[in-house]
């Protein structure tokens, strides 16, 4: 009986850990907002805006996801006014896809 209770507790905690990261908005807050700003408004000298950015609003989800997974550095960099690289996020493919949904959806509202 005791073992079953522990097992259920374990499964529930895993389920919660899963949903926390599957939420694109929460992932953005935890992993992106420090550079791109809490509302995706960008930060001077740090990182470009996500809100109102055509690469986000009109871009293909796969292209955006690729940058989240692989980063953008060195010769591939697009913005001279932001000297640092876009780092690899370390997110799973599914979590990155959820962030893209958030970037193209709720963030633009
Ligand atoms: C350490 C700061 C930093 C963090 C953290 C960061 N970024 Fe970036 N990001 C940058 C910089 C700098 C660039 C601009 C790179 C360039 O010059 O091309 C960038 C570029 C991008 C671009 C391309 C924008 C464009 O207009 O081409 C996307 C999309 C992006 N970031 C998404 C994210 C997401 C999503 C996260 C969180 C998972 C994240 N970034 C976390 C610094 C950061």
Closest Cα to atom 19 of ligand 1:
86
Q: How many CA atoms are closer than 13 Å to the CA of 75, on its beta-carbon side?
A: 0
In whole angstroms, give the CA distance from residue 16 to residue 28: 18
Any residues with Cβ below 6 Å from ligand 1, and which?
A: 31-32, 34-36, 47-48, 53, 55, 64, 67-68, 72, 77-79, 82, 84, 86-87, 89, 91, 99
Best CATH choice for the domain 24-108 from the list 3.40.1410.10, 1.10.760.10, 1.10.8.640, 3.40.50.180: 1.10.760.10
Q: Please state, in angstroms and as integers, the Cα–Cα distance from residue 30 to each residue in 34, 46, 98, following that order.
A: 8, 16, 13
Q: How confident is the model at residue 2 (pLDDT cuts 50, 70, 90)?
A: confident
What's the token pair of residue 16?
């919660």
Give pLDDT tens digits for 34-54.
999 999 999 999 999 999 999
CA distances to 10, 38, 82, 85, 97 from 45, rounded to whole Å, are 44, 15, 5, 11, 27
Is the pTM higher than 0.95? no
What residue ranges do the domains of the chain occupy? Answer: 24-108
For ligand 1, pick from 30, 38, 47, 81 the residue to mutate: most ligand atoms within 8 Å of CB. 47
């Amino acid at each position: 009986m005791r073992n079953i209770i522990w097992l259920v507790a374990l499964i529930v905690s895993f389920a919660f850990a899963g949903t926390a990261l599957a939420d694109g908005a929460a992932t953005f807050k935890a992993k992106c907002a420090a550079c791109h700003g809490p509302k995706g408004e960008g930060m001077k000298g740090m990182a470009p805006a996500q809100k109102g950015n055509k690469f986000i609003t009109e871009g293909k989800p796969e292209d955006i996801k690729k940058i989240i997974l692989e980063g953008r550095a060195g010769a591939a960099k697009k913005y001279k006014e932001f000297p640092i690289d876009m780092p690899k996020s370390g997110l799973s493919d599914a979590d990155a896809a959820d962030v893209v949904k958030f970037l193209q959806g709720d963030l633009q509202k």
